[in-house]
Structure 1
Amino acid sequence: MKKDNIFCIMALLVGLMSACTSTQRPLQLMPIADHSVVIDGKTVVKDEKDSVKLVVSFNGKFNEYMAFDTEIFNLSSKDMFTSPTHFQLIPLNENMSPIMADSISPIVLEGVEPREKMNDTNYQMALQDKKLKQAKVLNTVLFIGGIVAMASSSGRSSRHDRYSTGMELGNAMVQFASVKRIIDHENYYSNMDRLHNERRTWSEQGFNSNTLSAHTSLRGDVFVPIFKNAKYVQLVYKLPNNEITFLFEQHGE
């Protein structure tokens, strides 16, 4: 095996293992409503039904979710249970008709519970630790295998081409293990930094499943999955016998 071929293979490995980045237009949602106000640069919409009042504004994107700054008011005289999962997002096409999952069912995306997402993130962090440990074992095997191959070749007194091939193979294995080790650690620290930021974001959220006392409110971001191909989206809050809806026009993504 020629040295230039070895370096080409190693370069290809680096390219395949490196993460790719892409640019996207920022996601924007504009409410379609007769009654909306602009507060601190955000367009706010509100509605009230069955002693429940909602005040909502689009607050941007986080990972694969769109965030809505939401305050819910319990206007009744008794306790009320609320949850981010009570929110649904229905993607609509240019005719404002629901985009269908199949011939009879529209696509409906449910809000996520921040506590559950934080637990998922903890699990992903544990997986990253496990993957790095497995990579360390493989890198050690490759490195030792390369050293053994070179040592074995150096002890041969027979044909020169076998000696040269053995040395090149051993050297390639050692270099491969060294490069892979660097890439493994770079990917690990990059992923863990991202996951730490995600866990912090989820832990800071104030809108979790909760019981609201009479005449109290709860405010925080509600996260629902992004549906990129929608022209419009309808945000729905499910009530026992009713629902509150807000219509937005979607741009970007």
Structure 2
Amino acid sequence: MICAWRGSIEDIIWPQHEPEGPIELPLELWAFNSDPNNKEDLVLNLDRCTIKFSKFVYSHEIPLWSIVGPAFQVFSSNITTCQFLKEFSALEMNSPVVILLQVTDCERVDHIALYASKDIDNLLDNRIDDEATEDTGLNKLKLFARPLNFAIEQDILKQEDEARNQARIKLEKAAAQKADKENMIKQVVLAALRLRGINRTNPDFKLLFHTAYKSTLCSIRKLKTSDITVDIAREKVEAILNIIE
């Protein structure tokens, strides 16, 4: 995955498809301030924040900077974009790689391109010294390994969980309503049979009960309303029992 950061850490643009060439960031949104007398520090100024990194490779003559460490690569000096892409494509991507490439004419910044391997989630998690993060600001760089698509993914998962919970509640409510309705019909059938002097000791009780219950339930399901009252159920049961008798 190749990502571009425009203006601030929060503004990350993820292409739907991996582009063939580099993603260039507009100069007005990015600027590097470096001190030739301090070759270990580099201040990266973005729109709404300033992060100071140490352990940078700095050279006044070589227009490339990169963090020293197993996750990063430094390319040769005076490299062009085409040469960079050629060397980048020839790399053995055994470990995640991020390159901050500053193309310059000595003092003037032309553009900055950022390249990341596909394993972005694990990019920096295990490759930055935790003891150095508090003072140098490298902990903020870890935000790069958890870009916006991670937050979007979490939001989607949360929405899916909420949708599943709503569906579950709806199903449980429907099941409870169905159970209440079926139980109510059973009680109406039992009451109607008792009024006719038919109780559980009657040899025809089971046949009459199940016939009246199933027929009433089937008849009620055909009704367009879901609001089934005891009076409606009693009316249906009586009509069915009259037919049976």
- Where relative contact order (Cα < 8 A, 6+ residues apart) is larger, the structure is 1
Report the TM-score range of the alignment, normalised by the length of the smaller protein. under 0.3
Which protein has the larger Cα radius of gyration, Structure 1 or Structure 2? 2
Structure with the higher fraction of residues in strand conformation: 1
